[in-house]
Amino acid sequence: MSAKIVKYDAIKHLIPADSVYASLHYPHDESEQIYVYFHEGDVNLEVMVDLDEPLKNLPGKYDESLYLSFIVINGNCSAKNIYNRETDGSTGLIVLGNLNADNIVVGGQEIYVTGNMECRELYWGDYNHGGLVVEGTIQAKVLMSTDYGLDFERFSSLENMKIDHLLWDEITDDGEYEESGIIDDLFLPDFVYEAHEIIDEYYSWKDRLKDHKIFEALKSGTSVIRDTIAIPTQNKDIPFFFEDYKISADNLKRFADSPILTGMAPEIGEELVLEYWDENVFYRLYTKIGEEFSTHAYIQYDQSYACLIYFYKDPGNLLKRLSGKASYSFAQAYTVLPGDKWKLIDAKAPEKYHSFLQDHWKKMLDHYSEMIWNREQFEQKITKEKIETILNLPVVKDKYSDYYSEEGDSALFYRSFQWQFRQADNEQGQCARLSILKETRNDAYEFYHFDMKETTDGRLAPILYSQHTDGFESEVYEVEVTERETFRKALHYFEILEKSIFRINNLYVENNFDDNGIT
């Protein structure tokens, strides 16, 4: 049989180095041995797995009174529901592959997955004696963390995640628990307390949930999450700006229908270029304002070859030439770098140029659609009014407005963030600014400056800036809309600040503010 109970030293070489189970001490006394359930190869658990009493459900016959420290699956693992109620301490789970389950409701242990984890309905991690580590993609319909161990940096940036709805106590304002109807929208009515049934104040997302009913449902295989959820998903689909993915004249001209390429206040005759690298592929868009057929797209692979999609003036027949009316045709071409002649991409052209252009044209359309979406979201969610409101909060004005202080006390620390605030009347005569500094894994920082400046169309609005190195003397640059990941992070980190700063201000106003309580 591929499953057996083993002693810790038999499998410790398989445990990931950063797992909490990698540093367990192997005892000398036989009565104090650490026992592990080990399964070699892929396993499909068609039962409900209670991690408080795992030997009742796992394949094989064992002494059910034996305490298992953790389970190791050396392969992929599929399960119905995985759960436990004892959040002070329960059997852990290490999957050296992918983990797939309908529901996972756990606490009191580490869940470690070296591959991808897909939870088709609910992943709920509860209490700080447990935590989740997934090296690959995390996918869940609903992921709820209530005082649970998550990688704050990863979850705050939503790195490599496909989570429709994230409920996370650490970034939730206290008022949201009571005011938001999200619990009613996500969970079936049998598992939700009505407002009149709750006596105490709300301190967590779980305060409205009937956890005893949820565990009964998990044991029986009954769903706890609604099939159809009306509220928008966490991972919003980005609206596609074009008609389709075809390489066509209409789609090429469509680029010039957005200010992403043409700018906010274009002038007739102005030549505009949008260009960027994405890994080893270079993209460039060009247009000339007022000339309908001037737009062209250039896509280059490393330093090897390039493709061009463009319009050219067609001499046409004699009648057209005599009439003086210009006629334009649509074409595709390729060239081998450096300096070869351009050749048409037609039936005679090598297949690799056809394939390259098809693939990266689609990516270019997706990139451009995302740039438009990021710009629209930025303008809607990060406004002049919001920045001014935050800068005028008492806690900001009284404690954190000395932006150029050399004492290191001008930043408000929150988890892996530093928030800094520069008032409009600062001694350096600079514009008002709200800054978010995000600590990275290598103890460096990412910088997101929201500067209040006049835009090209005459408005006073926040503009996104960044810098490469620390310090007030570091050169600050405007973030181009082509830096899609930077814009995504800026939007998300601002949302975290916005959700937390007003709660912090209320604590300050009520004289309950403690600097150490929010770091």
Whether 391 and 364 share a structural domain: no
418 domain-assigned: yes
Distance of CA 291 to the CA centre of its chain: 39
Model pLDDT, residue 236: 64
107 domain-assigned: yes
Whether 301 and 389 share a structural domain: no
Residue at which a domain ends, from 320, 355, 381? 381
Whether 506 and 394 share a structural domain: yes
Residue 137 phi, psi dihedral angles, 5° rounding:
-80, 140
227 domain-assigned: no
Q: For residues 296 and 261, is the Cβ–Cβ distance under 8 A?
A: no
Whether 202 and 306 share a structural domain: no
Model pLDDT, residue 180: 66
**Helix locations, 196-257, DSSP H:** 211-220, 249-254
Whether 367 and 392 share a structural domain: no
Structurally, the chain folds into a number of domains equal to 3
Residue type, 171: I
Structure tokens at 445: 């920082």
pLDDT above 70 covers what percent of the chain? 92
Give 76's contacts (C-beta < 8 A, 6+ positions apart).
Answer: 42, 43, 95, 97, 98, 99, 100, 115
What is the span of the domain harbouring residue 17?
3-220
Q: pLDDT, tens digit, for every residue of 441-493?
A: 667 889 999 999 998 878 899 999 999 888 777 899 999 999 999 999 899 89
Helix, strand or coil for residue 362?
helix
Give yes or no for residue 195 having a pLDDT over 90: no
Q: How far apart are the first and last CA of the chain?
A: 50
Residue located via tokens 């389950």: 101
pLDDT above 90 covers what percent of the chain? 68
pLDDT confidence band for 224 (50 / 70 / 90): very high
Model pLDDT, residue 237: 74
Model pLDDT, residue 169: 87
Residue 269 phi, psi dihedral angles, 5° rounding:
90, -10
Range in 187-191, 209-213, 344-348, 424-428 the model is least confident about:
424-428
Whether 328 and 468 share a structural domain: no
Residue type, 71: I
Give 78's contacts (C-beta < 8 A, 6+ positions apart).
Answer: 43, 44, 45, 99, 100, 101
Model pLDDT, residue 519: 42
pLDDT confidence band for 1 (50 / 70 / 90): low
Residue type, 250: D
Q: How far apart are CA 465 and CA 480, in angstroms?
A: 9
Mean pLDDT estimate for the chain: 89
Whether 40 and 10 share a structural domain: yes
* Helices and strands per DSSP (H, E), number in the chain: 12, 25
Residue 80 phi, psi dihedral angles, 5° rounding:
-80, -85
Helix, strand or coil for residue 20?
helix
82 domain-assigned: yes
Structure tokens at 215: 């565990």
Structure tokens at 289: 């304002």
243 domain-assigned: no
Model pLDDT, residue 517: 44
Whether 65 and 200 share a structural domain: yes
Residue at which a domain ends, from 170, 199, 220? 220
Structure tokens at 252: 């090429």
Whether 412 and 283 share a structural domain: no
Give yes or no for residue 26 having a pLDDT over 90: no
Q: How far apart are CA 289 and CA 88, in angstroms?
A: 66
Q: What would the mean pLDDT of 114-130 be, rounded to a whole number?
A: 96
54 domain-assigned: yes
Whether 23 and 144 share a structural domain: yes
Q: How far apart are CA 122 and CA 210, in angstroms?
A: 15
Q: For residues 28 and 61, is the Cβ–Cβ distance under 8 A?
A: no
440 domain-assigned: yes
**How is 428-455 classified by DSSP, letter by letter?**
T-PPPEEEEEEE-TTS-EEEEEEEEEE-
Residue at which a domain ends, from 347, 381, 415? 381
Give yes or no for residue 162 having a pLDDT over 50: yes
441 domain-assigned: yes
Radius of gyration of the chain (CA): 29
Model pLDDT, residue 323: 55
Q: What would the mean pLDDT of 167-176 be, rounded to a whole number?
A: 76
| Selected residue with higher pLDDT from 414 and 324 | 414
pLDDT confidence band for 175 (50 / 70 / 90): low
Q: What would the mean pLDDT of 84-98 be, rounded to a whole number?
A: 96
Strand order in the sheet with 433-439: 412-414, 417-422, 433-439, 445-454, 460-467, 476-478
Give yes or no for residue 16 having a pLDDT over 60: yes
Whether 263 and 150 share a structural domain: no
Whether 213 and 305 share a structural domain: no
Closest CA to 444 of 400, 478, 474, 404: 474
Q: For residues 166 and 172, is the Cβ–Cβ distance under 8 A?
A: no
